[in-house]
Structure 1
Amino acid sequence: MVARSSEVRPSAVRHNASPGAGGRRRRGAGRLAGLGLGGAALLVLLTGCDVGKTFGGFGWPQGGITPESHRMYDLWIASCIAALAVGVFVWGLIFWCVVRYRKRGNELPVQTRYNMPMEFLYTIAPILIVSVLFYYTAIVQTDVNKTTKNPDVTVEVVAFKWNWQFNYRDGQGRDANTVASTLGTSEVIPVLVLPTGKSIRFEEQSRDVIHSFWVPELLFKRDVMPGNVRNVFEVSSLDQEGAYVGRCAELCGSYHAFMNFELRVVSPEKYDQFLAAKKAGKSTQEALTAIGENPYATTTEPFKTRRNTANFNPDSASAGAGS
């Protein structure tokens, strides 16, 4: 009786000098070269058109209205293209190996060990990719976060449960004076009016908990912190007039979903007229009407809060008219 461990099994024989080996290697090299050329052509085609628009921005909001938003959008699209190019190359190698080295009888393919060029490639290539992405990310981030000493317009953004107050300031920092103000109420959405073509400085603070100032078209989402923290950022200009919805992007309590506002971008002439009307004592709605704008928000509307004596606001309180 023969022990199981001593059974003779067919051995896989490697033929180093099989007649068709050279031809197969040449065909494999041709396929790999064709794959590389195809990937390069695909990358050129993708970078030559509006890839972001074609693929819905790859999840990134489109339609930015500031130079900073365009820089962040371009960085995102370039990163997605780079990721797709790497993915296509890797998938191509996987499928090529599946086809090229599929089983053909009992003959083993050539075994490659300690291939220094290959090991160097798959070690250095990821480091280079990450380094390039990090470099451009740092450049864009530094550019987007920079502030200037004398911006054209300074607005203090004050968040509280669950609304907004916008103070138009005559300077920067806590020591500056408020020359006009807009206060939101449960019945009236606050409208923040800003001019085109001017640098805008936002100085944020909260009266209670952490909120977040977010206008999707600005591509800025900045936390508004309580206490002595004063979060500051700038946009170099607003490039397009219009009305844009703003929201609180930080879960801040029961009525977080109701904490909306509207950014109204107007010409510099209209902005000066609006500010003059506010300084003269007119409400935000009256000042908007004076410059030919809709007096109330058009991108969002107040929610029915159903507040009563038991939860927040007495039913007998008079309806707010905004300010």
Structure 2
Amino acid sequence: MPEPASVQGEHILSLWQGAWIAALAVGVLVWGLIFYAVVRFRRRSADEIPVQTRYNLPLEILYTIAPVLMVIVFFAKTVDTQNFVLDEDLPVDNTIEVVGQQWSWTFNYGIGPMDEAANDDATDDQFPYSAYVHDSGTGSHIPDLYLPVDKTTRFNLHSPDVIHDLGVPAFLMKMDVIPGRVNHYSITPTEIGDYAGKCYELCGTYHSRMLFNVHVVSQEDYDAYLQLLQDAGTETEKPLLGGQFAHTQVGLDENSEGEGQ
């Protein structure tokens, strides 16, 4: 398991470690009982075969109750972790409209004040900012996702074509990007650095090229990056939802004359 670089990832790692510890403890107990029975009750030459229809009622009850209790504990811990990492009431510092398209990503960053009411109900038509700047990937350009450290960023996930899946291994979080439905989750990065991101859903011929670079930076560097995108002329009134890019990108398929298919 990668070292978690987000608050949410720390809780997921804790659940994962706890599950393995519990499973190992059960395994050690079962293996111990097996080896004990093999040694203690092994058949000797003078022994008669014991009656095969006997049973032990307390043991039968234990075999039934113990697994049920284990499942209940695992389920409760899983739900508790899920409720934390997908907390709808968690206040967010900024929102990024993420578009997964065949076959790259578009990251739309809101500029200006955020409308909390609009942010509560994400759709393909309603957005929390009055203006956006963006970085769109192509076959020859892997896009960059910038996030401020120790700030909570919400991803609203859009797709104009097929199901994709946005994930960053270092954050230990991923989620499906589904056409016609705006899924969302929030991340609070804890470590400044560069990380790799990718699509976790087999989405077509060039799925393997759906990569992106993640840069966790200070708030000052994050603001400077948005200003850089704005100076580059990428500002739009609404985020680019990828429909205009929902086809094979130039550079993915090229004929002998170098023209995109």
Q: TM-score, normalised by structure 2?
A: 0.81
Residue 280 of structure 1: how far off its partner (Å): 3.0
Q: Is the 8 A contact 1:210 1:224 kept in 2?
A: yes
**Residue 254 of structure 1 aligns to a residue in which SS?**
coil
Q: Deviations over 1:30-86 (max 9, x none)?
A: xxxxxxxxxxxxxxxxxxxxxxxxxxxxxxx22111111111111111111111111
Residue 175 of structure 1: how far off its partner (Å): 2.1
Looking at secondary structure, tell me which structure has more helix per residue. 1
Moved over 4 A (4+): 109-112
Residue 179 of structure 1: how far off its partner (Å): 2.1
Residue 180 of structure 1: how far off its partner (Å): 1.1
Change (3 A) 1:187 1:93: same
Larger Rg: 1
The answer to whether 1:131 aligns with 2:72 is: yes
Q: Aligned runs of 1:157-168 on 2, under 5 Å?
A: 157-168=98-109
The answer to whether 1:217 aligns with 2:158 is: no
The answer to whether 1:308 aligns with 2:254 is: yes
Other-structure match for 2:224: 273
Other-structure match for 1:232: 184
Residue 316 of structure 1: how far off its partner (Å): 4.6
Q: Is the 8 A contact 1:101 1:109 kept in 2?
A: no
Matched residues in 2 for 1:76 and 1:157: separation?
A: 28
The answer to whether 1:152 aligns with 2:105 is: no
1:220 is aligned with what amino acid? M
Point out where structure 1 has 5 or more consecutive residues left out of the alignment: 1-60, 284-303, 318-323
1:218 is aligned with what amino acid? F
Higher RCO, 1 vs 2 (CA within 8 Å, ≥6 residues apart):
2
Q: Is the 8 A contact 2:96 2:156 kept in 1?
A: yes
Range with greater deviation from structure 2 (207-216 or 105-114): 105-114
Looking at secondary structure, tell me which structure has more strand per residue. 2
Matched residues in 2 for 1:116 and 1:307: separation?
A: 68
Q: TM-score, normalised by structure 1?
A: 0.67
**Residue 223 of structure 1 aligns to a residue in which SS?**
strand
Residue 187 of structure 1: how far off its partner (Å): 1.6
Change (3 A) 1:98 1:162: same
Matched residues in 2 for 1:178 and 1:136: separation?
A: 40
Residue 110 of structure 1: how far off its partner (Å): 7.1
Matched residues in 2 for 1:203 and 1:117: separation?
A: 53
1:222 is aligned with what amino acid? M
Other-structure match for 2:25: 85
Q: Aligned runs of 1:254-273 on 2, under 5 Å?
A: 254-273=205-224
**Residue 208 of structure 1 aligns to a residue in which SS?**
coil
Aligned residue pairs total: 233
Matched residues in 1 for 2:151 and 2:216: separation?
A: 11
Change (3 A) 1:159 1:63: same
Please report the RMSD computed on the Cα atoms of aligned residues, expressed in angstroms.
2.4
Matched residues in 1 for 2:251 and 2:37: separation?
A: 62
